[in-house]
């Protein structure tokens, strides 16, 4: 028996656990490279540089959310006989959206610069907007890889792109590029994703522009887009308020604490969500199997996220000065980091509920929930900002830990009372 055959025999038979394994393996490489980049950035960039980079990336996220429009999710969830036609339409829709978003970001760069009274924001926002003219080349292929449950390919592609991003960030920081060390690699690594997806997934578009069945795609995707828009707003509302109300230096400290504390957890949480959605879609028409698989996967999620968050938050006072430098301790980043880190405990379980609603064809329920949760979190952050960045971090932790578990409990109860999943 060869070594390869032995490794294959030892791979878990549970597809969810196996996919988490591949995604986790990718995250190890990502975190090693990200740690190097974060250490260099923390020692070479000023809080003001961090603040400007945070605004650039926040602005890009508000525009980029329209690429998470549910088109790919529909391809994952669709019936086998309709996938061929839907892929061609999805290709055309992705290009229409990509070109539109590129133009929006170009125009929006001037509005953002005016809002923050800082012309240094214009060029980097424009530059990152060019990615919208690159990623449509492989969006359909990415969805098909997820549909085929080949998350090994997805993980390796993600690993290659993010490691390249982190290594470039570290190199540019050493060379003295300032905030450009964070911004510029976002554009430079986009072809990495496209090239690998085109290599591993052989679907190619026909030379035909068509919007056949566009209602079926966007009918499903519009609800997911609504959820993603709310998610993006929630993930950036704290940045928005801190940068505007408290100041750019305070935003730089908060942005550092958020990325140093929640960066690893968010990577794991996103990997869990991608793996879970593909896994649930495989049995979405079989209620009993769906219930069993969802429950089993929740246990797996708990085994992954709880020890990770407990370890990271408890060790923060030790590793922040040692790894990132004493200046961040003096700036008050440690308690902010711990609070933000603790908010990760409930996030993967709320994401699991979201993936469950999508798998059974009811993303509109997830949209309604996210609308309410966004209102609660925004109010919490606004109130917390009266006590500075530490108050904002406390509000983020309290709202997430207090509200998100309710969503999971309600979703389990409601979904599994259904006999058949609805169709859009």
pLDDT tens, 117-146? 888 888 989 988 899 999 999 999 998 988
Mean pLDDT within 210-221: 78
Residue 265 is assigned to a structural domain of this protein: yes
- With cut-offs at 50, 70 and 90, classify the pLDDT of residue 30: low
Reported pTM: 0.63
Q: Give the whole-angstrom CA distance, residue 397 versus residue 262.
A: 12
Position with higher pLDDT, 239 vs 11: 239
pLDDT at 197 over 90: yes
Band (7; pLDDT cuts 50, 70, 90):
very low
Q: Alpha-carbon torsion 168, 172, 173, 179, what sign? A: negative
Q: Give the burial string for 396-408 (b: 16+ CB within 10 Å, else e).
A: bbbbbeebbeebb
> 65 in a domain, yes or no?
yes
Q: What is the mean pLDDT of the chain?
A: 81
Asked if pLDDT for residue 48 goes beyond 50, the answer is yes
Q: Is residue 157 part of a domain?
A: yes
> Residue 354 domain-assigned?
yes
Using only C-alpha atoms, what is the Rg of the chain? 21
> What would the pLDDT profile of 398-420 be if each residue is shown by its tens digit?
999 999 999 999 998 898 875 44
In terms of Cα–Cα distance, which of 172, 201, 203, 176 is closest to 187? 172
Share of the chain above pLDDT 70, in %: 88
Whether residue 264 is predicted with pLDDT greater than 70 in this model: the reply is no
Q: Which of 45-59, 137-151, 156-170, 391-405 has the lowest mean pLDDT?
A: 45-59
pLDDT of residue 36: 63
Nearest-angstrom CA–CA distance, 383 and 391: 8
pLDDT, tens digit, 9 for 90 and up, residues 272-326: 777 788 778 878 778 888 888 888 888 888 888 888 888 888 888 888 887 777 8
- Binning pLDDT at 50, 70 and 90, where does residue 91 land? very high
Q: Is residue 109 part of a domain?
A: yes
Please give the Cα distance from 117 to 253 (Å, whole number).
20
State both tokens at 106.
């170009």
Q: Is the pLDDT of residue 267 over 50?
A: yes
pLDDT for position 287: 84
Q: Is residue 421 part of a domain?
A: no
Asked whether the predicted pLDDT for residue 244 surpasses 50, the reply is yes
The pLDDT value given to residue 3:
42
Three-state secondary structure of the chain: CCHHHHHHHHCCCCHHHHHHHHHHHHHHHHHHHHHHHHHHHHHHCCHHHHHHHHHHHHHHHHHHHHHCCCHHHHHHHCCHHHHHHHHHHHHHHHHHHHHHHHHHHHHHHHHHHHHHCCHHHHHHHHHHHHHHHCHHHCHHHHHHHHHCCCHHHHHHHHHHHHHHHHHHHHHHHHCCCCCHHHHHHHHHCHHHHHHHHHHHCCCCCCCCCCCCCHHHHHHHHHHHHHHHHHHHHHHHHHHHHHHHHHCHHHHHHHHHHHHHHHHHHHHHHHHHHHHHHHHHHCCCCCHHHHHHHHHHHHHHHHHHHHHHHHHHHHHHHHHHHHHHCHHHHHCCHHHHHHHHHHHHHCHHHHHHHHHHHHHCCCHHHHHHHHHHHHHHHHHHHHHHHHHHHHHHHHHHHHHHHHHHHHHHHHHHHHHCCCCCCCCC
Domain tally, the chain:
1
Residue 208 clears pLDDT 90, i.e. is over it: no
pLDDT at 33: 55
Query: Which residue did the predictor score with more confidence, 126 or 227?
Result: 126
Q: Is the pLDDT of residue 29 over 70?
A: no
Cβ atoms 103, 130 nearer than 8 A: no
Residues 224 and 96: beta-carbon distance below 8 Å? no
Q: Which of 332, 327, 337, 336 is nearest to 43 (CA)?
A: 327
Q: Is position 333 within any domain?
A: yes
Q: Binning pLDDT at 50, 70 and 90, where does residue 35 land?
A: low
Neighbours of 375 (CB within 10 A): 12
| Greater model confidence, 176 or 37 | 176
Is 311 a domain residue?
A: yes
Q: Which domain holds residue 159?
A: 11-415
pLDDT(6) > 70: no
Q: Which band of pLDDT confidence, cut at 50, 70 and 90, is reported for residue 260?
A: confident
Going by C-alpha positions, the residue among 19, 20, 133, 111 that lies closest to residue 62 is 111
pLDDT at 416: 85
Does the pLDDT at position 39 exceed 70? no
């Amino acid at each position: 028996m060869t070594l390869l055959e032995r490794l294959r025999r030892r791979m878990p038979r549970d597809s969810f656990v196996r996919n988490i394994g591949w995604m986790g393996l990718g995250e190890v490489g990502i975190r090693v490279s990200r740690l190097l980049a974060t250490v260099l950035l923390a020692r070479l960039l000023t809080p003001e540089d961090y603040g400007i980079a945070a605004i650039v990336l926040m602005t890009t996220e508000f525009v980029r959310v329209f690429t998470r429009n549910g088109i790919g999710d529909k391809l994952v969830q669709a019936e086998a006989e309709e996938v061929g036609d839907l892929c061609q339409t999805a290709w055309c829709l992705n290009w229409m959206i990509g070109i539109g978003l590129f133009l929006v970001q170009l125009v929006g760069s001037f509005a953002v610069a005016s809002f923050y009274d800082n012309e240094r924001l214009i060029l980097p926002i424009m530059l990152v907007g060019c990615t919208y003219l690159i990623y449509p080349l492989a969006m359909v292929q990415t969805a098909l890889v997820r549909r085929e449950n080949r998350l090994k390919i997805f993980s390796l592609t993600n690993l290659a792109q993010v490691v390249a991003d982190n290594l470039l960030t570290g190199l540019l920081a050493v060379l003295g590029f300032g905030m450009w060390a964070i911004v510029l690699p976002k554009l430079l690594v986009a072809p990495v994703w496209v090239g690998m997806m085109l290599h591993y997934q052989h679907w190619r578009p026909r030379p035909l522009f068509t919007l056949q069945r566009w209602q079926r795609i966007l009918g499903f995707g519009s609800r997911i887009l609504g959820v993603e828009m709310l998610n993006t707003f929630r993930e950036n509302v704290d940045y928005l308020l801190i940068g505007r109300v408290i100041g750019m230096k305070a935003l730089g400290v908060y942005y550092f604490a958020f990325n140093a504390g929640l960066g690893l957890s968010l990577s794991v949480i996103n990997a869990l969500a991608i793996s879970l959605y593909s896994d649930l879609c495989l049995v979405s028409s079989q209620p009993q199997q769906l219930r069993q698989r969802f429950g089993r996967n929740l246990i797996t999620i708990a085994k992954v996220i709880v020890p990770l968050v407990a370890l990271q938050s408890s060790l923060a006072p030790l590793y922040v000065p040692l790894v990132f430098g004493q200046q961040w301790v003096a700036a008050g980043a440690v308690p902010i980091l711990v609070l933000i880190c603790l908010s990760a405990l409930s996030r993967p379980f709320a994401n699991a509920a979201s993936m469950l609603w999508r798998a059974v064809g009811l993303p509109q329920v997830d949209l309604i929930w996210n609308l309410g949760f966004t209102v609660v979190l925004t109010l919490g952050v606004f109130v917390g900002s009266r006590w500075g960045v530490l108050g904002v971090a406390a509000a983020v932790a309290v709202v997430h830990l207090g509200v998100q578990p309710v969503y999971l409990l309600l979703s389990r109860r409601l979904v599994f009372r259904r006999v058949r999943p609805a169709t859009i």
